Structure 1
Amino acid sequence: AGATVIERCEVMQVGHDGRDFVAEARQGGEPLQVRAEVLINCAGAWANRVAQSFGETVPLTSGHPSMVVTEPIPHFLPWSLGVEGGSIYCRQVARGNVVLGGGRGYEQDELRARASHDSILGLLPQAAALLPALRHVHIIRSWSGVEGYLPDHHPVIGPSTTQLGLLHGFGFCGAGFQIGPAAGEALAELVLHGRSTIALDAFSIGRFLPPRSDAVDLLSSHPERKIS
């Protein structure tokens, strides 16, 4: 659809030169500069670095989910399943493996995390009690990752209060796969039209910032854009 995807590319710093956003990046040790009229800050657990570059510091912290996957077994679970108030959630993929999550892993460094033994040992009896079909099934792999969390457990979605053309979409607190399609649709509408058919006021980054008399109102002063 006309997009260019640049993989394994670390953004070192980002700013605005009065006309465009400018990202200074590094790909395979080589410098790379990316320029754009609109910047969407979807940097996950590292999104605060981008926000801080434009004077919008938020209390974003990192979390590390603990995940395991079983060997393939005959299909028995047609839904994504989660226990309200519990620490287990799961789904079965097309190949038959059951992916389960629960508890917290631990940070290896700023970029990596691992599932903890305690979280896995706590997850397995819950899985067997909830889904008896798993009682004699082997776990074949475990992993973790780095997610961004905010104090109110709601994401930041919508325009910056300091920089026209800057949009945020981060801090999904472990629920990004669930609401990602709606968030993506809302952000695409903001880029194209400067407004969203989905009400986003509750998700504004401004809820973590002191009130500003000069806040940027992207929704009321945004020309129609065409994406090239």
Structure 2
Amino acid sequence: MNTLLRRSATLAVAGAALALSLTACQGAEDDNSASAATTSATPAAAGGKADGASDTTDATDSAGSAGAKDSSGSAASAASGGSAGSTGGQAAASTPVCTAGDVTITAASQDGPPYTHLVLTAKNTSRHSCRLPGFPHVQLLESHKQDVPAVAKSKPATPVVLAAGDPAYALLKVSDGGVDEDNEPVSAFSVMLEGDSTVIAVTAPGKDGIAADPAKALTGYWTPELRNGADDF
């Protein structure tokens, strides 16, 4: 009887030990499996993260490059458009108008026939550029206070802008050259610039001055070059 009990107890102890051993083995296998799963999952996750970061960086770089390219392209287009939009007329409009204090006006007889025209020269004697619009407002005689009419076809296509030291010219017809005209001797006459009421006294060329008929007189517009064909008016 006692022998049977001892054997049963021994079997019970052996069974318990076996159960603990099996549990330990199972736990070790589970730990190994979990470790293996973790080990195999880590590179994949790391690789996925690296790939994702790479994709994000590439996308950002691409977007940044595209943005920079578009920005520089737009800037270039704007610059190009601005440059194309800048015209001589706009530049001239921002240049101050010449005043009597900016220019010196002289008169000379025109070479060659018809011997009835003077060349007026307005030289920019200031230290800055200025715009010389319109035509000279000329009065030849004190007794004739009307301005000499201007010839529209002599108007230049673009505004006349004079840099410091540059001249502009205008032709002035003083008579038709006929002996039966009502001419009067003129030793000096007055000129006013467009937009300036200052009277500029201009000495007539020649020792005895000129013979002028205000009724026949005409003037051309200021131009940067001498106008050919003075006898056109």
If each structure's strand is expressed as a fraction of its own residues, which one has the higher value? 1
* Larger helix proportion of the pair: 2
TM norm structure 1: 0.20
Q: Which of the two has higher C-alpha Rg?
A: 2
